[in-house]
Structure 1
Amino acid sequence: MGRGPSIEARKNATDAKRGKIFTKIIREIGVAARAGGGDPANNPRLRVAIDKGLAANMSKDVVERAIKKATGELEGVEYEEIRYEGYAPGGVAVIVDCLTDNKVRTVADVRHAFGKFGGNLGTDGSVAFMFKKLGVLSFAPGADEEKITEAAIEAGADDVVVYPDDGSIDVLSAPDAFEVVKATMEGAGLRPDIAEITMRADNDIAVAGETAEQVAKLLAWLEDLDDVQNVYSNADLSDAYA
């Protein structure tokens, strides 16, 4: 019987994954600070990025260093925001948001990923119209539905979605209202497991079998690219290997 990976190997893999998450958050903090200033009190996008970093156990020193690099107090790299759009197998729409210091490298990596798993890169706007930008506060199964719903209405949220399969709950808001809704919910003692501004598709496409396998591999490959910040799709993979 073969042995699994050693404790050291598993730790190294975990550390590498954690390092990649940190790199993506640091880039987001930098771009937000450069665009809207280094004061999170006056820069909502920076506040969201800092919260994400702290939630991932990033130290305040690392956060402050990223802000100082972005605002010119320390020497740093300047990153550019780029969005790519395309289709995965089965007609699944995919949006790839990147922060890069080398557009040629990034588009080559993204194009290679789509081609490798049977998809194709599209033109600007080819799939974005299928998605909406919104704030999402996600609560794990077992959360108090009644209390969350009351607080969400009070906070000015747009919708509360309860998922019947596991009882998890999402509170949805307009991006501009996200900060207020999040603060109000937390003030009521309701701290979400995940809080983010994201893109969600108007309608999902169910894929199964080999197609679903290719879609899942493509999305995972894209998410693992250094220059990629976020990957959004309208794939419903609940029947992935049916």
Structure 2
Amino acid sequence: MAGHSKWANIQHRKGRQDAKRGKLWTKIIREITVAARAAGPDPDSNPSLRMAWDKATAANMPKDNIQRAILRGAGGADGANYEEVRYEGYGVGGAAIIIDCVTDNRTRTVAEVRHALSKNGGNLGQDGSVAFMFQHCGQFLFAPGTSEDRVMEIALEAGAEDILTDEDGLIEVISAPTDYAAVKTAFEQAGLAPEVHGLIMKPLNETELTGEDAEAMQKILDVLEGLDDVQEIYTTAVFDEAD
């Protein structure tokens, strides 16, 4: 099987997201609003809001925009009544996909997700059809060149479950969801900045795709990411770095 680079895949995905920054801001504002409505406006006591705030900061969103979204969510009066919903399905080559959405109209959203999948060679599955292929966890990814010993020391002291280093030198730290905030704080206090971090659905196994299959799968992901209601996409698919 052809090799792939997780680091190359991460950089590729970040580049695509940066190119869609305007739409990214809209999605983050929805996430902030929902988080503030669900558990209050204080990010120190609301981990979901803290994570959404961090995403907003990383996307260079002005603080005023963030605070307006929090007030709108905490007030619960203005704007649409958004809710979180998850869909599961398959892409090319049996690759599993989880699609997390924030929507004010479930009927519209499921129709758009189903169409995006079926038109491009995938299909929408039933609830639970692929969730068992993923682990809900906290994830921190450090760029090649970061001190593995230092990351390991801080991570283990903070309660992380696992530290993995791949052949590119990318360091991945995994924590239980309940320990995510503590591990994140420990890294911040140690001056260690992960390239990517968050609560994710981590695939337990990978589906490696190359050539036309990789291109077709990337098209599915691009179309899904282009939907206004889609917030996060998780997949077992990984791509040859040449694709």
- TM-score above 0.5: yes
The residue identity in structure 1 corresponding to 2:49 is L
| Fraction of identical pairs, as percent | 54
The residue identity in structure 2 corresponding to 1:35 is A
Q: Does 1:91 align with 2:114?
A: no
Deviations 1:140-177 (A, max 9, x none): 1111111111111111111111111x211111111111
Is the Cα contact below 8 Å between 1:212 and 1:240 reproduced in 2? no
Task: Determine the structure 2 residue equivalent to 1:6.
Answer: none
Is the Cα contact below 8 Å between 1:80 and 1:99 reproduced in 2? yes
Task: Determine the structure 2 residue equivalent to 1:224.
Answer: 226
The alpha-carbon deviation at position 78 of structure 1 amounts to 1.5
- The total of aligned residue pairs comes to 228
The alpha-carbon deviation at position 183 of structure 1 amounts to 0.5
Task: Determine the structure 1 residue equivalent to 2:208.
Answer: 206
Q: Does 1:129 align with 2:132?
A: yes
Deviations 1:47-83 (A, max 9, x none): 1111111121112211110011112276222111111
Residues 79 and 16 from structure 1, CA distance in 2 versus in 1: closer, same or farther, beyond 3 angstroms? farther
The alpha-carbon deviation at position 207 of structure 1 amounts to 2.0
The residue identity in structure 1 corresponding to 2:213 is T
Structure 2: distance between partners of 1:206 and 1:72: 45
Is the Cα contact below 8 Å between 2:37 and 2:76 reproduced in 1? no
Deviations 1:81-135 (A, max 9, x none): 1111111121111111100112122111111111111111111110011101111
Matches within 5 A, 1:7-22: 17-22=20-25
Is the Cα contact below 8 Å between 2:207 and 2:236 reproduced in 1? yes
Task: Determine the structure 2 residue equivalent to 1:180.
Answer: 182
The alpha-carbon deviation at position 238 of structure 1 amounts to 2.1
TM-score normalised by structure 2 residue count: 0.89
Query: Which residue of the other structure, out of 155, 158, 162, is the alignment partner of 2:158?
Result: 155
DSSP 3-state at the match of 1:66? helix
TM-score normalised by structure 1 residue count: 0.89
DSSP 3-state at the match of 2:44? helix
Q: Pick the structure with greater CA Rg.
A: 1
Gaps of 5+ in 1: 1-12
Structure 2: distance between partners of 1:179 and 1:50: 13
Is the Cα contact below 8 Å between 1:155 and 1:181 reproduced in 2? yes
The residue identity in structure 2 corresponding to 1:238 is D
The alpha-carbon deviation at position 15 of structure 1 amounts to 8.9
Structure 2: distance between partners of 1:240 and 1:228: 27
Gaps of 5+ in 2: 1-15
Q: Does 1:192 align with 2:200?
A: no
The alpha-carbon deviation at position 22 of structure 1 amounts to 0.7
Structure 1: distance between partners of 2:47 and 2:58: 16
Is the Cα contact below 8 Å between 2:17 and 2:24 reproduced in 1? no
**For the aligned residues, what is the CA RMSD?**
1.9
Structure 1: distance between partners of 2:205 and 2:73: 37
Query: Which residue of the other structure, out of 83, 98, 113, is the alignment partner of 2:116?
Result: 113
The residue identity in structure 2 corresponding to 1:88 is G
